Amino acid sequence: MGMASRNFTGGHLKMRQVLTNTALCVIVGASTGACLAQPAAVTLNIQLDKPVHTVSPTLYGLMTEEINYSYDGGLYAEMVRNRTFQDHGFGGVAHWNIEHLGNSVASMAIDRTEGPGAALEHSLALDVKQADATNRAGVRNEGYWGMALRPTTTYKGSLYAKADSADVGPMTADLVNDNTGKSVASATMPGLSTEWKKYEFTLTTGKIETSAQNHLLLTVGHPGKVWIDLVSLFPPTFTNRENGNRPDLMEMMAAMHPKFLRLPGGNYLEGDQIDERFDWKNTIGPLVDRPTHRSPWNYQSSDGTGLLEFLEWSEDLKIETVLAVYAGYSLKGDHINPGPALVPFLQDALDEIEFATGDASTKWGAVRAKLGHPAPFAVKYIEIGNEDWFDKSGSYEGRYAQFYKAIKAKYPQLELIATAPLKRMKPDVLDDHYYKRADEFFADVKHYDNVDRNGPKIFVGEWATREGSPTTNMGAALGDAAWMTGMERNSDLIVLASYAPLFVNVNPGGMQWESNLIGYDALTSYGSPSYYAQVLFAKYLGTEVPASSANGAAERFFYSVTRDPGKSAVYLKLVNASSVAQPVEIEMTGASNVASAATLETLTGATLAQTNTISSPTRIVPVQTTIKGAGTKFSHTIPPYSIQVLELKAK
C-alpha cells in the first residue's frame, strides 16, 4: 500500500532550521521563499486521568455504492464490459466490436428474441457468412478501459452460447495484446450446441509484460449463426472468491481499519425511479438469473455485486454490515405513501434482513445457505432509506414509523437509522451528510460539541471535503482531518462515520462525482491524501477521550486526543492547515510516566493543491519516524500543511 518510511528532507528540514535559528520568519515549503510571521505556540493540556467519554468502537467505516464505476470497472473483478449487452452506446453494441480475420465475413447485432434465461432475454447474435479455420470471424470486448493481464496468471472465463447448427463447431477465446496483435492466451470450448449452454474456459498467460492494453477475442471457424450472452472473465480475486473482488482495492480498504460497511448506497439504493431501486431479490443467485438494472449514476449495473457479494465483502474485511433498505422514495421524487401501499416494500426489507441475519431454518436464511453461505452475517444497524430529507411530500415520518414498528417487532435488537430528522418520534440513530470545502469544515469543526445528548445517536453516513478531482488533494485532507478531530471529540454521540464516495475509475468517462477517496484504472490503484488521513485517524484511535484544552489556538490548528489505557497508549492528532509551522507546548497530567520515545506519523504536502495521481501515486503518503524528548511536558512543531499523529506511551 506504499506507506513509506523515510525521513524529512528538503523544505521541512530547512524550515525547521530557520525556526530554530531566527524564530522570526519561516520559509514556506521548499521553493517560494516567502517570509511570514511565526505563530505563537499553542499550549495543549491533557488530563489523562479524567476520561470525558468513551470512543465509539465502530466510529470509522466505509460507505459504498455503484458510482464512478465503483464495482463494474472497479472493485468487482469482472473484466468483460457490457457482458450482457444491455449498455446503451452511441450506435453499435457498446464495448464490443466485430472482428473478421483474413477474408471472413460476419456481422453482429442485438437479438431481442434470444436469451439464456428469463432474466436475460436478449443476446448478441453473430452472423457468420464466411469463415474457416484460418479465416476466423468473431467479436472482441475492450474491457473496462482495457484488460489488465499479468504474467503466468490464470483467468477464468465463461459464456452462454447457442448456434443455429452444430456445424458451427467450437468457439475459441483469445486474450490479445492491443499493440502486437499477438494472442497471449488461448482456449477452445467444445462444439456449440443448438440449445443455450454455459461454456467455461481458462486462459493462462506466459511470460508477458504486465499491461492493460489487451482485449478478449471470441471467434468461430465456420459459417453459421451464433448467439452469446453473459460473457465473463475473472482474474484471481481477493481470497480467491468466485465472482469476487480485486485484491488491491480490498487491501486498500483493509488498511483503513474500517469497522463497518454501509451498503448498498446512497442514491444507488433509491434509483432514479422506483423500479430502478436496488431490488435485492434480483441481485442474488446465479448471474444468469440477475436481470441487471440502471444505476442513478447513468449506467447499467451488472449486479454482479449483489446482496450476498456485499455481505461477503464485509465478511472478508471482518467488519459489520450497516444495511440500508429501500423505504419507498426514489430520487426523482416518486414515493409510496405509508399504509397498505408500502407493505410490499416493507416485506422486501424484512426478507432482506432475514436473508442477511436469519439462520438456515428461516425462509430467506435457507436461500442464503443454499447459495453457499449458511452462517448469518453480523448486522446491528438497519438504515431506512437514504437522504429522505429530499422527499418533499412529507411521507418519511410515516414511512419510517411503519418500518420501525415492523422491524423492531421482529428484530428488537437492531438499531434503526433515520435519514431525515423526525418530529414525532426519536429514531435510534440519525444519518447526517456533509459535503463541504475545507474552510467550511474548519468553521464547522465544533458542530456536534453542544448537540443534545438526549436526542438520537448520530451516523455521519456521508461526508467529504470536496477539493480536487478525480481524487482529493492535500487541502481536502486537511479539511477532512479537522472534521475528524471534531467527530472524535464527539464520539460519544457519533457512533458511526463514513467518507463518500470511496472509489473512482480515473479513466475518461469513469467519474460521475468529483473528489473521491481511492482512484484506479484496470491495472493499478492509489490513495488520495484524504485516504491517508482516514488511514491515520482510524489506525490510531483510543477507547476514551480524556479531558483536554488548547490555549492560544491558532487559526487552522485542530487537534484530537484519545487514549487506550489497556495499551498504555495516548494518540495525539495534530492538524496544521496553515502555510507556516505551528509550535505546540504539550502538557500531560494524570500519568506517572510518559516515555520519551514516541512514534510520529506525518502526512504533509508542499501546497494545498498537491495530490496523488494514478501516475504519481505516492507523492503524499504518511511518513513514520520516532521522536525523542516526549514526556509529561514537551515542545513540538507541526510542519505547514500537515496532519500528524503522535503515539505516546503513558502509564
Cell of 368: 442464503
Nearer to ligand AHR, 123 or 528 (CB): 528
Contact between 331 and 118 under an 8 Å Cβ cutoff? The reply is no
3-state secondary structure of 15: helix
Nearer to ligand AHR, 121 or 279 (CB): 279
First to last CA, the chain: 33
Q: Which of 219, 267, 292, 578 binds ligand AHR (CB under 6 A)?
A: 267
Shortest distance in whole angstroms from residue 458 CB to ligand AHR: 16
Nearer to ligand AHR, 19 or 263 (CB): 263
Q: Which of 513, 557, 571, 634 binds ligand AHR (CB under 6 A)?
A: 513
- Does 388 bind ligand AHR (CB under 6 A)? Our answer is no
Q: Going by C-beta distance under 8 Å and a sequence separation of 6 or more, which residues neighbour residue 401?
A: 338, 424, 425
Cell of 389: 430529507
Nearer to ligand AHR, 8 or 434 (CB): 434
Distances (CA, A) of 635 to 581, 588, 631: 13, 12, 9
3-state secondary structure of 393: coil
**Residue 406's Cα: distance from chain center in Å?**
31
Shortest distance in whole angstroms from residue 416 CB to ligand AHR: 18
Single out the residue of 327, 328, 266 nearest to residue 296, CA to CA. Answer: 266
Q: Which of residues 81-120 bind ligand AHR (CB under 6 A)?
A: none
Residue 121 to residue 588: CA distance in whole angstroms: 69
What stretch of H or E contains 314?
helix 307-316
Cell of 463: 461526508
**Residue 221's Cα: distance from chain center in Å?**
43
Using the contact rule CB under 6 A, the part of the chain among 29-37, 264-272, 281-289, 313-321 near ligand AHR is: 264-272
Cα dihedral 555→458→387→276 (10° resolution): 120
Shortest distance in whole angstroms from residue 418 CB to ligand AHR: 14
Binding mask 6-45 for ligand AHR (x = CB under 6 A): ----------------------------------------
Shortest distance in whole angstroms from residue 517 CB to ligand AHR: 11
Using the contact rule CB under 6 A, the part of the chain among 3-11, 68-76, 261-269, 337-345 near ligand AHR is: 261-269
Residue 406 to residue 166: CA distance in whole angstroms: 56
Residue 650 to residue 644: CA distance in whole angstroms: 18
- Does 65 bind ligand AHR (CB under 6 A)? Our answer is yes
Nearer to ligand AHR, 501 or 542 (CB): 501
Shortest distance in whole angstroms from residue 267 CB to ligand AHR: 4
Nearer to ligand AHR, 201 or 483 (CB): 483
Using the contact rule CB under 6 A, the part of the chain among 41-49, 223-231, 262-270, 393-401 near ligand AHR is: 262-270
Nearer to ligand AHR, 63 or 233 (CB): 63
Nearer to ligand AHR, 243 or 386 (CB): 386
Q: Going by C-beta distance under 8 Å and a sequence separation of 6 or more, which residues neighbour residue 395?
A: 328, 329, 335, 336, 337, 338
Contact between 290 and 119 under an 8 Å Cβ cutoff? The reply is yes
Nearer to ligand AHR, 267 or 505 (CB): 267
- Does 391 bind ligand AHR (CB under 6 A)? Our answer is no
- Does 471 bind ligand AHR (CB under 6 A)? Our answer is no
Cell of 246: 480485486
- Does 397 bind ligand AHR (CB under 6 A)? Our answer is no
Count the Cβ atoms, other than its own, within 10 Å of residue 243: 19
Shortest distance in whole angstroms from residue 85 CB to ligand AHR: 27
- Does 74 bind ligand AHR (CB under 6 A)? Our answer is no
- Does 387 bind ligand AHR (CB under 6 A)? Our answer is yes
Shortest distance in whole angstroms from residue 351 CB to ligand AHR: 24
Shortest distance in whole angstroms from residue 462 CB to ligand AHR: 5
- Residue entry with cell 456481422: 107
Nearer to ligand AHR, 26 or 63 (CB): 63
Residue 429 to residue 381: CA distance in whole angstroms: 9
What stretch of H or E contains 559?
strand 557-564
**Residue 49's Cα: distance from chain center in Å?**
38
Residue 611 to residue 622: CA distance in whole angstroms: 13
Q: Which of residues 484-503 bind ligand AHR (CB under 6 A)?
A: 500-501
Residue with the shortest CB distance to ligand AHR: 266
Shortest distance in whole angstroms from residue 89 CB to ligand AHR: 25
- Name the residue type at position 499: Y
Shortest distance in whole angstroms from residue 158 CB to ligand AHR: 32
Nearer to ligand AHR, 78 or 462 (CB): 462
Whether residue 264 has a cis bond before it, omega within 30° of 0? yes
Shortest distance in whole angstroms from residue 50 CB to ligand AHR: 38
- Does 61 bind ligand AHR (CB under 6 A)? Our answer is no
Shortest distance in whole angstroms from residue 24 CB to ligand AHR: 46
Single out the residue of 605, 606, 620 nearest to residue 3, CA to CA. Answer: 620
Q: Is 556 left (phi over 0), alpha (psi -120 to 50) or beta?
A: left
> φ, ψ for residue 562 (rounded to 5)?
-130, 160
Count of CA atoms in the C-beta half-sphere (13 A) of 112: 1
- Does 265 bind ligand AHR (CB under 6 A)? Our answer is yes
Q: Which of 172, 237, 386, 485 binds ligand AHR (CB under 6 A)?
A: 386
Residues of this chain that interact with ligand AHR (CB under 6 A) are 65, 67, 265-267, 386-387, 462, 500-501, 513
